[in-house]
Amino acid sequence: MHGTRSDRVKAGIQGRALALVLIVALGALLVAGLSACGGSSVAGTYAYDSGTEQGMEGFTLTLNDDETFMLSQPNPEGGEAIGISGTYTVDGDKINLKNEDGSESEPGTVDGDKLVFETVTWVKK
Question: Using CA atoms, how far apart are residues 69 and 43, in angstroms rounded to an integer?
Answer: 9
Q: What is the pTM of this model?
A: 0.67
59 plus 116 within the same structural domain: yes
8 plus 62 within the same structural domain: no
Question: Could you give the number of structural domains in the chain?
Answer: 2
What CATH code is carried by the domain that includes residue 70? 2.40.128.490
73 plus 112 within the same structural domain: yes
Residue numbers of the domain that contains 79: 44-124
Residues 58-104: tens digit of each pLDDT? 999 999 999 999 999 988 888 888 899 999 999 999 999 999 999 99
